[in-house]
Amino acid sequence: MKNSLGKFGLIGLGRMGRCLVEGASKAGLLRKEELSFTTRHADTAKRLAKDLAVQAVSSNRDLFESCDTIVLAVKPQNVGDVLGELKGVSTKGKTLISIVASVRTEQIEQALGAKVAVIRAMPNTPAFVGAGMTAICAGAYASQPDLDRARALFEPLGRVAEVDERHMDAVTGLSGCGPAYIYLILDALTEGGIK
C-alpha cells in the first residue's frame, strides 16, 4: 500500500501515539524510516527510538518543519508551551492532527499564527485492540484531503466519525467513558449470573 501520510511526526509519543504508529504501520500507511517523534525527556526519547526503531528529534520545531503529517499528542497542560515553540513555523502543505483533549482547532490556529490545516481527533482506549471509536473534525483551513488523511490514520484502530467541532467535548466524554460504563454493566451481569 502507498504511504499516504508522507513524512510523519509525533509531538509526544505516549500510549496513544504508539498505538497510532503501530496501526498505521500495519496498514501500510507509513514506513518507520519516515517516522520521527519528540518527547519531553531525553532518556525516554532514547529508549523509544531504540524500542520502536524510529528517529527521535530533539526539537518540536525541527520535527514540524521536516514532516508532512504531524500528530500533536501531548497533555492539555503542555500544549501552550509546545505551540509557543512552533509559532511562526512554515505550515504550507502540512496537516496537523491534534489528539489533545479540550483544545479547539481555532486555539491551535491562533497560537501558530498561521493558516494551518488542523484536524482535531479524539480516539478512545478500545483503539488499543482495534475496536476504537475516533471522532474527527476539521479546522477552518483543513481540506477534504486533510480529513481523508486523518481518517486513514485512525481507521486501522476502529471506526471513525466526522462530527461538528461544537460536539467534540460531548463526544469525547461519551466515547471516553462509554467503554468503562459498559464494562461495569457486563461485570454486574457476570456477577449476577454467578450468584
Q: What does the pLDDT look like over 42-66, one tens digit per residue?
A: 898 999 888 888 899 999 999 999 9
pLDDT at 192 over 50: yes
pLDDT for 30: 85
Higher pLDDT, 51 or 146: 146
Is residue 17 in a domain? yes
Q: CB-side exposure of 30: number of CA atoms within 13 Å?
A: 28
Contact (Cβ atoms closer than 8 angstroms) between residue 21 and residue 56? no
pLDDT at 4 over 80: no
Is residue 156 in a domain? yes
3-state secondary structure of 166: helix
Is residue 40 in a domain? yes
Domain assignment of residue 68, given as a range:
8-194
pLDDT at 71 over 50: yes
CA dihedral sign, ordered 31, 32, 34, 39: positive
Domain of residue 154, CATH code? 3.40.50.720
Phi, psi at 135, each rounded to 5°: -95, 135
Is residue 130 in a domain? yes
Q: What does the pLDDT look like over 102-113, one tens digit per residue?
A: 999 999 999 998
The number of distinct structural domains making up the chain is 1
Is residue 180 in a domain? yes
pTM > 0.85: yes
Torsion of CA 139, 147, 126, 67, to 10 degrees: -90
pLDDT at 184 over 90: no
- What share of the chain has pLDDT > 90, as a percent? 64
pLDDT for 2: 47
pLDDT at 36 over 80: yes
pLDDT at 16 over 90: yes
pLDDT for 174: 73
pLDDT for 176: 67
Planar angle of CA 142, 147, 148, nearest 5 degrees: 140
Higher pLDDT, 174 or 110: 110
Higher pLDDT, 57 or 179: 57
Is residue 98 in a domain? yes
pLDDT band at 175 (very low <50, low <70, confident <90, very high): confident
Distance between terminal CA atoms of the chain?
51
Q: How far apart are CA 92 and CA 142, in angstroms?
A: 11
pLDDT for 179: 64
pLDDT at 1 over 50: no
Q: State how beta strands 117-122 and 132-138 pair.
A: antiparallel
Cell 486523518 found at: 150
